[in-house]
Structure 1
Amino acid sequence: MRQKVISIFLCYLLLYTCGGVEAHTRKDSEDSNSGFLEALPYVAAGGVALALGLPAVGFTAAGIAANSWASWLMSCSAVANGGGVPAGGLVATLQSLGATGGSTIMAKIGAFLGYVTYKHQKNQKSKEEE
């Protein structure tokens, strides 16, 4: 249920962000597309990076991998909290996402961040041209 709510919320944010874009009319044939193909590499790179990010740093379905960044983070969290990792903390949340297939949610977040990066760079270029 929680994953569905987060997915719907992220889709809403993505659609809300895309819906506020004004159409610009240009006479150049190369600039006449909607920008979808230009944004696609950013969206894909962001989605793949975050989807593969959790297992890469050690938050796997089998648990926290030994000698990984996740195990170091878990150790630091345990030392800071008197020997135990707090429920609902950063380490527990990331491990929960890694164990339950949270890579899908992370891919959606990454895709959204990729799109935001694309829009930011596009806005910077348009400001430089003015």
Structure 2
Amino acid sequence: MGVLNKSIGSYGESIAENYLKEMGYTILERNFKCKIGEIDIIAKDNKYICFVEVKTRYGSLYGSPGESVTNLKQYKINKTAQFYILKKKLHKFSFRFDVIEVILNNEDDNYSIKLIKDAFQVS
């Protein structure tokens, strides 16, 4: 990933974090990493622990940002989430996987944001 993509991703994650806070979520972690993978944001939404993948793009020329959360990416997020649950002893909570799409506008600082709750299931 290039430096520009990394900074766009970080910017999108900051937008997403603020959005989640406004929606009443409690942010538990940002950029949780382990050997298996990384989760952009881990947050609590009422009784749910949410593992949130943030996808940031300029426009939707190549499809919606959420479409880039492939089966392999979902698998890695799930495995990383399992590790986090074990590490933090969070078995009593319900869990879900959310995706946040942030679409930036080239001309100004405007952006659109879309939260997809329970975006995917992993068996």
TM-score by length of 1: 0.27
> Which structure would you say has the larger Rg?
1
Greater percentage in strand: 2
TM-score by length of 2: 0.29
Higher relative contact order (CA 8 A, sep 6+): 1
